[in-house]
Amino acid sequence: RIRHRGPDWSGCIIAGNHIFCHERLAIVGVDSGAQPITNADNSIILSVNGEIYNYLNLKKLLNDPQPYVTQSDCEIILHLYREIGDKVVDHLDGQFAFVLYDKKADRLIAARDPIGITTLYYGYDSRSPKSIYFASEMKSLNEDCDRILSFPPGHLYDSKTGQIRRWFDPNWWSEEVIASAPLDYTLLKRKLEHSVRKRLMSEVPYGVLLSGGLDSSLIASIAVRETRNVVRRKTSRPVLRTDSEDGNSNLLAARDVAKFLKTKHHEYIFTIQEGLDAISDVIYHLETYDVTTVRASTPMYLLSRKIKAIGVKMVLSGEGSDEIFGGYLYFHSAPSAEALHQETVKRVKNLHTSDCLRANKSTLAWGLEARVPFLDIKFLDVAMNVDPKDKMCSSEHIEKYILRKAFDTSHDPTLEPYLPDNILWRQKEQFSDGVGYSWIDSLRDEAERKISDEEFAKRDTRWPDDTPQTKEAFWYRQEFEKWFPEKACTESVVRWVPRTDWGCSPDPSGRSQKVHTQAYHK
């Protein structure tokens, strides 16, 4: 069911009444990283999806180093667990979801990275109440479990207690504690550059998803500089793009960025019909019927197939910036700095239900891994502690002003610019809008064609819980139900909507917000 996530190899280990299966996508330790991984005496079994960026440093912390079975960055989890138990999660810097079994202690632990970049689900079967199931995607569980939940980010399950506890507890996590740290542009910039640098860890060709918007353009710019500074593989790969065929602001912007950065640029033009034809498959892979996520995931899904076809296995992407800095256009309506901060914290904490889910599943549908530098925990520690007064939008300050200003070199003509001014100070376009306004309009038109007024009038009876409010939402819910008819499959679905209590339009399209196309000064 999830071989698309790991087409390079399959592995299975049975230990007592535990079964571990793994589908591998080889990025680091390509020749010797088969999974599940075991230690030298086979007493510990590890099945993991992810990347541990600080694995080399963690190796130095081991008091009693044991022979390594693979060259995988993830094997450090197994060895560190042997020495410090479940505190291993406190030391991991990366994106990951893993299940580990200690035969000697008859102990099973499972954990997910702090923000939920890597997907993980768990389930129960009432016919076997002592059993617990884990999987990277829900489709592996839906026929065996009558309750399926998204495993919460930054949490750990321990069979010794039977409980799931939160281990990730930064000082910005509470929505009630309002940040107050003074703004430090240099620190903000340095932390993002370091985040990109560590994510270039790869033994395979890599690229950058470039939309032409601020976030992906900054990541691409930093990646180009880091690649210049480090001796890398000659197969280092180009910046990659997707756009629809018309009404398209991002296409030209992406070309400008690629030309400015001197990257090898690829464009993929998809037709409206190709996008519409992919909707059902996209919903199957996403395992959600959220309108925003489906809209934005379809171009990413189509692009990922093209990327994989040219031999790239890893891409950097710009998810997370809008949640951290209040970048969505509805943030212009925030009634106060405190309200803006609370909303950014809430959005970051729920990224695993929307943008992280999209980035992970749209790409891994084709065996392509996405890495997201904005969600680095050290960068978050700086960015989420900035006084929210500095994040407020106004007639003078465009959204994400402080991020733009951190990379603005106009004050010193001797410095190499990160981006052209027209990109650095370009207004936010949500991805589903930026690929072409006709894409969203066509989805609405297709929903009108597919869903009759009579069907739509009965939506409350068909779905009394989480009732779709538009024909487009009805269409996606209907497609979801075709793939996942079991009631257990809806419990993990969360819908993304702007803050209507701020006077914002409930439509997730950025075009629906009143500040769209407003002009700003630097």
- Per the annotation, where are the binding residues? 73, 209, 317-318
The helix (run of H) or strand (run of E) holding residue 264 is none
Amino acid at 221: S
Q: How far apart are CA 261 and CA 425, in angstroms?
A: 17
DSSP lists the bridge partners of residue 121 as 135, 150
Q: How far apart are CA 82 and CA 44, in angstroms?
A: 8
Please list the alpha-helical segments (H only) found in 287-354. Answer: 291-309, 321-325, 337-349
- Measured from the Cβ of residue 63, the count of other Cβ atoms closer than 10 Å reads 6
Find out whether 293 and 354 touch, Cβ atoms under 8 Å: yes
Please list the alpha-helical segments (H only) found in 384-467. Answer: 401-406, 421-424, 431-434, 437-450, 453-457, 459-462
Q: At 149, phi and psi to the nearest 5?
A: -130, 150
What burial letters (b/e) apply to 173-198, b meaning 16+ CB within 10 Å?
Answer: eeeeebbebeeeeeebbebbbbbbbb
Query: Can you say which residues are annotated as belonging to the binding site for ATP?
Result: 209, 317-318
SS3 263: coil
Query: Can you say which residues are annotated as belonging to the binding site for L-glutamine?
Result: 73
Sign of CA dihedral 369, 248, 351, 483: negative
The helix (run of H) or strand (run of E) holding residue 72 is none
Q: How far apart are CA 144 and CA 492, in angstroms?
A: 16
Cα angle, residue 346 at apex, residues 320 and 382 outer, rounded to 5°: 55
In this structure, what DSSP letter does residue 181 have? B
DSSP string across 205-255: -EEEE--SSHHHHHHHHHHHHHHHHS---TT---EE--EESSS-HHHHHHH
The helix (run of H) or strand (run of E) holding residue 162 is none
Amino acid at 293: T
Q: End-to-end distance of the chain based on CA atoms, in angstroms?
A: 50
- Measured from the Cβ of residue 126, the count of other Cβ atoms closer than 10 Å reads 8
Q: How many CA atoms lie within 13 A of 411 on its CB side?
A: 5
